[in-house]
Amino acid sequence: MGLFFKRAAVSFESHISNFSPLFISTHKFINKFWFWRLKLKFQKKEDRKINMPCLYISTNVTLDGVDSGSIFSEATKAISDITGKPEDFVMVLLKGSVPISFGKSTTIPAAYGELVAMGGITTAVKRLLIATLGTIFESKLSIPKTRFFLKVVDVSTATGSKL
C-alpha cells in the first residue's frame, strides 16, 4: 500500500516542475505529511504505541551476594528481544527472601513471576519468555526450571481495550 502512495507522489512532483519553488517546497511538505498520515492510518494500533512490559519476580532465594545487575540486564534484554519493545521501556522487579511453598517444600529454591504487557503477547511469545527467563534464573539464582512459574498477561486482550 505504501509503494502506491510513493509512486503517486513521485509522478505528481514531475508534473509540477513549472510552478514556483515555494509552491513546490510547500507541496513536498504536505505530500510527506499526508503520506505519513495514511501510513499511520493503515498501521495496526498495537504497533503505534510503545507499551512498557513489566516483569515482577518473587523468589525464596536470598539475594545477598548475588549480582542482581546481571539478572536485570539479561532479563531486560530477553524481554526486549522477544516482545520487540525497546529495552528503555522494560521494567524488571526482583524480590528475594520471600516465603514460597512449592510442592510441599519451602527450602528448595523456587520463584514466581508475572509479566504484564499491553499487546504483542502470543502463545509462541509466552513459551519463549518462559523458557528464556527460566534459563536466566536457573543460571543466576540456581532455581530449577521445574520450580519456576511465570504468569504472562496481555492486558489489552483481557479487557478488550487498551488503558
Q: Per-domain residue ranges for the chain?
A: 2-43, 47-159
pLDDT at 77 over 60: yes
Looking at 3.30.920.30, 3.30.429.10, 3.40.50.410, 3.40.50.1970, the CATH number of the domain 47-159 comes to: 3.30.429.10
Q: For 70-95, what is the mean pLDDT?
A: 94
Q: What is the pLDDT of residue 34?
A: 47
Mean pLDDT (the chain) is 78
d(CA 161, CA 163): 7
d(CA 90, CA 83): 10
pLDDT at 89 over 60: yes
Write the pLDDT tens digit of every residue in 125-162.
999 999 999 999 999 999 999 999 999 998 886 555 44
Q: What is the pLDDT of residue 50?
A: 59
Q: How far is CA 37 from CA 29, 32, 43, in A?
A: 12, 9, 10
Q: What is the pLDDT of residue 157?
A: 60
Cα Dmax for the chain: 83
**Per-residue confidence at 87, pLDDT binned at 50, 70, 90?**
very high
Strand partners, 57: 94, 113
Write the pLDDT tens digit of every residue in 19-65.
555 555 554 545 554 444 444 445 455 544 557 899 999 999 999 99
